[in-house]
Amino acid sequence: MRQHLLSLVLLGTLALAAQPSGAQFATLPSAGTPMVFSPPQCNALREVEDAVATRSADDIERIGAAMDANRNASPAEVARISGLSVPTVTTMGALDQQQGMAFSLVFGSMLRQFHPDLLMKVLRERGPLGQVPDVSSNPLGLALLDGLMNTAQQSYLTQCS
């Protein structure tokens, strides 16, 4: 679970959920199925959105590097490193694979809006590691990812506003 949390923080703080090595990607939600976010997940997403909107891409990358170096950190330590609250870190750490995928797609939409170059960099760098699919040079893959992020973003905006 910590590796899943750290991956979300890296891509989320912070985009797509990085799974432990050897794990399969979560089944992508169908376009017609809305993603459901609980009130604590909405609170966490709002906090992450604020962080993504107010931090530089370099800052987000530094946080990700620090998270990679502290893979077994406690929620309090993750909160200290990331600047996110302990409740947000705890909520992110409790996400199952499907929730993590939905959360990460929303985060990807935030990166797309505020730091599009960082989103592409993450796709290029994490893809070869098997953590996220590298669709950075694949127009069809980018269109699919874009559509999934649009669906996730709309679900987030509808449920968490």
Q: Chunk the chain into consecutive blocks of 10 residues (it has 161) and report each block's average pLDDT, rounded to whole numbers.
A: 42 36 46 79 95 92 78 86 90 86 88 91 65 65 84 93 87
> pTM for the complete prediction?
0.77
Q: What pLDDT score was predicted for residue 56?
A: 94
Report the alpha-carbon distance of residue 90 to residue 145 in Å, rounded.
Answer: 27
- 53: burial class by Cβ within 10 Å (0-12, 13-18, 19+)? exposed
Q: Calculate the CA 27 to chain-centre distance.
A: 16
Q: How many domains does the chain have?
A: 1
Q: What pLDDT score was predicted for residue 28?
A: 55
Strands (DSSP E) contained in the chain are none
Domain extent, residue 129, equals 2-16+37-160
Report the alpha-carbon distance of residue 8 to residue 104 in Å, rounded.
Answer: 7
Q: 114 lies in a domain?
A: yes
Q: What pLDDT score was predicted for residue 29?
A: 56
Q: 26 lies in a domain?
A: no
Q: 133 lies in a domain?
A: yes
Q: 31 lies in a domain?
A: no
Q: 25 lies in a domain?
A: no
Report the alpha-carbon distance of residue 14 to residue 98 in Å, rounded.
Answer: 18
Q: 153 lies in a domain?
A: yes
**Residue listed under structure tokens 């709002």:** 46
Q: 150 lies in a domain?
A: yes
What distances in angstroms separate CA 127 from CA 19, 84, 132, 140, one per listed residue? 12, 26, 5, 16
Report the alpha-carbon distance of residue 161 to residue 114 in Å, rounded.
Answer: 19
